[in-house]
Structure 1
Amino acid sequence: MPSWRPASWSRVALTLLLALGAAELCVALRTPIPWMIGPLVATALVSVLGAPTESWTPLRNAGQWVIGTALGLYFTPAVGALVASLWWAIVMGIAWALALGLGFGAWLRHVHAGHLAALSPSALRSTTYFAGAIGGASEMTLIAERQGARTDLVAAAHSLRVLLVTVTIPFALQFAGVSGLDKLAAGVRDVQPWGLLALSGITLLGALVMQRLGRANPWFMGALVVTMAVTLCGFTFSAIPTALSNAAQLVIGVSLGVRFTPAFVHTAPRWLASVALASFVMMGLCAGFGWLLARLTHLHPVTLLLGTAPGGIAEMAITAKVLQLGVPVVTAFQVCRLVAVLVLAEPVYRWRYARP
């Protein structure tokens, strides 16, 4: 079977139908970011119950491609100058993420030293360290495997953390009545068919180059970097149609939801409970850190909460986009953190545990 084909076309179709129904229900209920949260929650629930759900990788890639392009349109020359002036705050955000991950990993190691006694000391260190790192699930799992970690626990920790952050923060912001604070609108608002076709072509090329180079999140990062570059240069091709953005959010939600299989729930329940508790604590700590940065930068605290939140880059950026909460700043913080953690996680691990 070719690598691009799913295990079952019918599973993919039924999963998408379920996701569409959940999204429409969330729209009717006026939940935050309904086109991502609805599919994410519905797919996760039925997957945990054992339903045969499936996410098709090319659709997920296309969703990341669309979202990366849509976010890049916010980086007009004026916005680029603003983000560049915040370089010191972004560096603080990176340092915060590394410190938060170290603390999370150390706490997991302390709590589960007895529970995971079957692991060797080095495997316990690598498992808890990379489970705590605030990075992408797939990338952290691959690095953890090289260091002899128990990869199922690492992957489970990242999946659960991203799920909880993605669901909790938007609902908390809606409950608090926080939205529509973004004065930094995308540089182009009208959909131009020929411009959209040209934009699609150059961002597709960027995504394929990133994939060829083996970079993390190539479809998201490639589209984002290319769109940022052309928008910063003052070129305006086209806005992204709302329906296309909604569809992208839906397939991203599905790709997150299908991770939560029955086997996931049975993977060390105590470990998952610890990760859940720590995730909520980290959200609270990030709210405090965001407030501190807001005092220093004079930006809205919620923008910096999303910029430093321990969620996935696409999910936090989508939250900022839909709720209009400082999209370029959130994207810049999350992208720089992602890159820094990917580059520094393994060297910091070696430095931290150089001594037995």
Structure 2
Amino acid sequence: MHGYYGACRAWQAHHTSTRVPSLPVFGPSSWPRVVLTLLLALAAALLCVWLRTPIPWMIGPLLATSLVSVLGAPTESWSPFRNTGQWVIGTALGLYFTPAVGALVASLWWAIALGIAWALLLGLGFGAWLRRLHAGHLAHLTPAQLLSTTYFAGAIGGASEMTLIAERQGARTDLVAAAHSLRVLLVTLTIPFALQFWGVSGLDTLTLGLREVQPTGLLALAGLTLVGALVMQRLGRANPWFMGALVVTMVVTLSGVTLSAIPQPLSNAAQLVIGVSLGVRFTPEFVHTAPRWLASVAFASFFMMGICALFGWALSAATGLHPATLLLGTAPGGIAEMAITAKVLQLGVPVVTAFQVCRLVAVLVLAEPVYRLWVARRPA
């Protein structure tokens, strides 16, 4: 408890500097940490391959780096590696959107709309529960700060985007970032193992348009998607390296053009660096910042996974798609992590990607206006 209230007092003194920290700038002193972190991640990935765990190239690095980071080891993730990983995964997912698949996804617009509404309601309920539960523990916050902190911590959106919006609204952003990071970690670790236990994989009838690697086509695809990622970054869009590559590849593939498949080793490496970028967030300071807050977020994350599974099952009955596909599509996890799970387990990659992308965009666009409307309608 001392660490919890100490963190509260520290936040009061330094609340202007609670923006989510970016990954360290890479320099000569960072070489040993980055290389050792990657070697640890590679060893963990190979161990998980040997153990036949689900999503070994992401789960292994994520588990290993988060564990040693919590224990205080000097792990580090380099931003360009993470960006490259998202670029590769975005490109790989876009290759599933053949014209036939595009028509299928378009016919599911109503289910995707329901998924968006579900995510917004889920976030509102999560935030309201956090506010009621922690009103006494976060007494140092004003009512407006408590409302903004819990609202944006509960929103089922991207961690960095929600935290930056929360900062504009005067929230305690370290708690917002912690809530999103822990939620994504738990969902990423839990759902693949649950699906493996369930015994579902390889059910995907929505296959790639081209399975062979064509060197010339791969270079052309890399160039096109790089331009898309850089344009998205220039425009300040969320997840630019993932979204830019995904959108460009979708447009190319939907037009009937097949350039190349993505080499499997490249896809594995991308999963590895994404797992590392998630794992290094969990430092000793992260764990000791607010134990009650983290415990409540963990409980809520598991609860949301359960009710999202029920919602996905209901959508499955309405659409005729496999429940596992819609579980991943409506899960409260990160877009890249859920799409990677669908890709590796072959569980309706384009459907999962469409659900998760639309949810991410909708929450990003609507979270702040809904918050302002909510505040305006609250009694003074």
The TM-score bracket by the shorter chain reads: over 0.9
1:220 aligns with 2:242: yes
Answer whether contact 1:6 1:56 (CA < 8 A) is retained: no
Please tell me the residue identity of whatever aligns with 1:201.
G
1:10 aligns with 2:32: yes
Query: Match for residue 144 of structure 1?
Result: 166
Shift of 1:182: 0.5
Separation of aligned partners in 2, 1:7 and 1:135: 34
Deviations 1:260-315 (A, max 9, x none): 00000001100000000000000000000001101111101110000000000000
1:261 aligns with 2:283: yes
Separation of aligned partners in 1, 2:268 and 2:117: 33
Answer whether contact 1:106 1:129 (CA < 8 A) is retained: yes
TM-score by length of 1: 0.99
Answer whether contact 1:93 1:337 (CA < 8 A) is retained: yes
Separation of aligned partners in 2, 1:217 and 1:139: 9
Query: Match for residue 302 of structure 1?
Result: 324
Shift of 1:7: 5.7
Q: Give the secondary structure class of the aligned counterpart of 2:261.
A: coil
Deviations 1:47-105 (A, max 9, x none): 00000000000000000000000000000000000000000100000000000000000
Please tell me the residue identity of whatever aligns with 2:280.
V
TM-score by length of 2: 0.92
Please tell me the residue identity of whatever aligns with 1:199.
L
Residue of 153, 163, 184 corresponding to 1:162:
184
1:206 aligns with 2:232: no
Residue of 165, 177, 183 corresponding to 2:205:
183
Please tell me the residue identity of whatever aligns with 2:285.
A
Shift of 1:4: 5.5
Answer whether contact 1:145 1:151 (CA < 8 A) is retained: yes
Separation of aligned partners in 2, 1:351 and 1:4: 42
**Stretches of structure 2 lacking an aligned partner (at least 5 in a row):** 1-23
Shift of 1:186: 1.0
Answer whether contact 2:61 2:275 (CA < 8 A) is retained: yes
Query: Match for residue 348 of structure 1?
Result: 370
Separation of aligned partners in 2, 1:6 and 1:292: 53
Matches within 5 A, 1:115-126: 115-126=137-148
Query: Match for residue 37 of structure 1?
Result: 59
Separation of aligned partners in 1, 2:295 and 2:200: 29
Change (3 A) 1:337 1:46: same
Query: Match for residue 21 of structure 2?
Result: none
Q: Give the secondary structure class of the aligned counterpart of 1:46.
A: helix
Shift of 1:16: 0.2
1:83 aligns with 2:105: yes
Residue of 254, 264, 268 corresponding to 1:232:
254
Query: Match for residue 332 of structure 1?
Result: 354
Query: Match for residue 218 of structure 2?
Result: 196
Instruction: State, as a whole percentage, how many aligned pairs show the same letter.
Output: 84
Shift of 1:6: 7.4
Change (3 A) 1:33 1:232: same
1:106 aligns with 2:162: no
Q: Give the secondary structure class of the aligned counterpart of 2:303.
A: helix
Answer whether contact 1:4 1:58 (CA < 8 A) is retained: no
Deviations 1:132-166 (A, max 9, x none): 00000000000000000000000000000000000
Q: How many residues align?
A: 355
Please tell me the residue identity of whatever aligns with 1:50.
G
Separation of aligned partners in 2, 1:124 and 1:144: 11
Change (3 A) 1:218 1:5: farther
Change (3 A) 1:6 1:39: farther
